[in-house]
Chain A
Amino acid sequence: MDVMANIVYPVAGLIGLYAFVSLASLVWEGIDRKLVARMQRRVGPPLLQPIYDFLKLASKETIVPNTANYMFRAAPVLALATTIALLAYTPMGFEPLLSSRGDVIVFIYLLTLICFFKILGAISSGSPYAKIGAAREAAIMVSREPAMMLAIFAIMWRLGKLGVEKPFSMGVFYQHNIWEIGTPLSFVGAIILLYVFCVWLASEIEAGYFNIPDAEEEIAEGALAEYSGRYLALLKLTKALKTYIGASLVVSIFFPWGIAGYLNLSGISADIVNLLFHTLKVFILLFAVQSVFRATTGRLKITQAVELLWKNVLPASIIGTLLIAMEVIM
């Protein structure tokens, strides 16, 4: 219980993770744009384009509408701050820096809070177009979370039955995983939950069907209509980080295996190798859920998207949860 182990190392780790993840997530955005371009037989921008975009936006003049109140300026900063805080609770190939009992609630809370700050910023701008975008964002947000929360709580509860030291912590995925339960029913349940999480991830990162609140062609660019310059740069970075974090969650639930064990590494080098391998898995997952989904589907109407999330994804989540929990309940 010394200062070094409790404060200095986590802070250093968080700063390191933040630097790495912001770079990796922006590079992924570049890879995504390149891949979608190649799927449409275009060449696409250079891989580092999102970084150039970020720098350009950060250097541009920031215009604040005179109808905006102080939350308009505060929301992008708070959203990015929340995202950085969330990094401390995100499993990235190793146990999260601040993992403790029950921190799954913190994880879900912070992940939703990012969205909430974005909505707050949009409704503080005074623009009715941004308000409509914010209303849509809110509708999607409340529709997508229940299915994901049910699934993640069920999985954590089921893994807790296998014996873990910190139940309901984001670290449990690295002690037991969902495929270890071993019964055919749980296997089918896991596949169904994988579907649920993929749809959840797609709606979280607004890809394909769910590209509704921010889409350029929607009502005057939706929630981000009034943002420019530095604030827009912050929100874009937040979105890139959130994409990485959301995918990290799905990867750590369903594909938590690391390669450091096979390479006989330990300590910090094992963590770094696992982080890089985790990043590779995140990229592969995002390729399926973001790039291909984005390239092959148009967006739904807001009513259709909400309907899909309540009538298709939530029931799937309930069925998958029941199948996972089956042999414990009976």
Chain B
Amino acid sequence: MSLSPLVPTVLRNLFKKPATNLFPRAEPVPVPENFRGQIKYNVDKCVGCRMCVTVCPAGVFVFLPEIRKVALWTARCVYCKQCVDVCPTGALQMSDEFLLASYDNYDDKFIPLKPEKVEEIKKKLEEQKKAKEKAKAEKKEQSKA
């Protein structure tokens, strides 16, 4: 039996510092530029063009016709960034967040556009519609008069 060639390496390593990142105690390894983290959705910028629904390979998006927006469930996202590339208004962006472990699949952080918000937008749209109709009716009356 000859001495293993690893012995000197191993004994030298014994006096070196560990080459590891002590994550919960230290900061995680910094993310690179253009890191593909969780999707961020900006509802106000969305024009409802349905491009993201077409291009998404994982079926994250559901189009909501009444309000012309999309609902997302990012727990299913595969981080391919195709929706970000295809979005014409820049309403979808990749963030740097990657610590996304959760006890609940339907955690709030996976659903950027919540049902309450959808209702709110619906109400707003209806109000706008009513206001417009009112304005139209008033205009008609004015023009009649």
| B142 interface residue per 8 A CB criterion | no
| A312 interface residue per 8 A CB criterion | yes
* A292 and B20 within 8 A (CB): no
Tally of A interface residues using CB under 8 Å: 16
Which residues from A are CB-within-8-Å of B20?
Answer: 41-43
| B101 interface residue per 8 A CB criterion | no
Which residues from B are CB-within-8-Å of A296?
Answer: 4, 6-7, 10
* A41 and B16 within 8 A (CB): yes
Tally of B interface residues using CB under 8 Å: 14
Determine the residue in chain A with the shortest Cβ distance to B19. Answer: A41
Q: Which of A171-206 contact B (CB under 8 A)?
A: 199
Which residues from A are CB-within-8-Å of B11?
Answer: 39, 292
Q: Which of A38, A43, A199, A312 contacts B14 (CB 8 A)?
A: A38
* B22 and A39 within 8 A (CB): no
| B24 interface residue per 8 A CB criterion | no
| B143 interface residue per 8 A CB criterion | no
| B34 interface residue per 8 A CB criterion | no
* B7 and A42 within 8 A (CB): no
Which residues from A are CB-within-8-Å of B22?
Answer: 43
Per-residue B-contact encoding for A25-40, CB less than 8 Å = 1, 0 else: 0000000000101111
Distance (whole angstroms) from the CB of A247 to the closest CB of chain B: 19
Q: Which of B4, B11, B16, B19 has the most CB atoms of chain A within a 10 A radius of its CB? A: B4
* A39 and B1 within 8 A (CB): no
| B13 interface residue per 8 A CB criterion | yes
Docked complex Cα distance between A35 and B11 (Å):
10
Q: Which of B17-32 contact A (CB under 8 A)?
A: 17-20, 22
Q: Which of B1, B6, B13 contacts A38 (CB 8 A)?
A: B13
Q: Which of A40-74 contact B (CB under 8 A)?
A: 40-44
* B18 and A35 within 8 A (CB): no
Docked complex Cα distance between A308 and B14 (Å):
29
| A295 interface residue per 8 A CB criterion | yes
Determine the residue in chain B with the shortest Cβ distance to A43. Answer: B18
* B18 and A39 within 8 A (CB): no
Distance (whole angstroms) from the CB of A4 to the closest CB of chain B: 48
| A297-B4, A312-B1 given; A292·B18 CB < 8 A | no
Docked complex Cα distance between A41 and B14 (Å):
7
Q: Which of A38, A44, A199, A292 contacts B7 (CB 8 A)?
A: A292
Q: Which of B10, B16, B20 has the most CB atoms of chain A within a 10 A radius of its CB? A: B10
Which residues from B are CB-within-8-Å of A199?
Answer: 1
Q: Which of A53-108 contact B (CB under 8 A)?
A: none
Which residues from A are CB-within-8-Å of B17?
Answer: 41
Determine the residue in chain A with the shortest Cβ distance to B21. Answer: A43
Distance (whole angstroms) from the CB of B118 to the closest CB of chain A: 47
* B18 and A295 within 8 A (CB): no
Extra 16 A-B pairs, beta carbons < 8 Å, given A35-B14, A42-B20? A38-B14, A38-B18, A39-B13, A39-B14, A40-B13, A41-B19, A41-B20, A43-B18, A43-B20, A199-B1, A292-B7, A292-B11, A295-B6, A295-B10, A297-B6, A308-B1
B interface vs A, CB < 8 Å?
1, 4, 6-7, 10-11, 13-14, 16-20, 22
12 example contacts (A-B, Cβ-Cβ < 8 A) are as follows: A37-B18, A38-B13, A38-B18, A39-B10, A39-B13, A39-B14, A40-B13, A41-B20, A43-B22, A199-B1, A297-B4, A312-B1
Task: Report the 5 A-B pairs with minimum CB-CB distance, sorted nearest first.
Answer: A296-B6, A296-B4, A39-B10, A41-B19, A43-B18
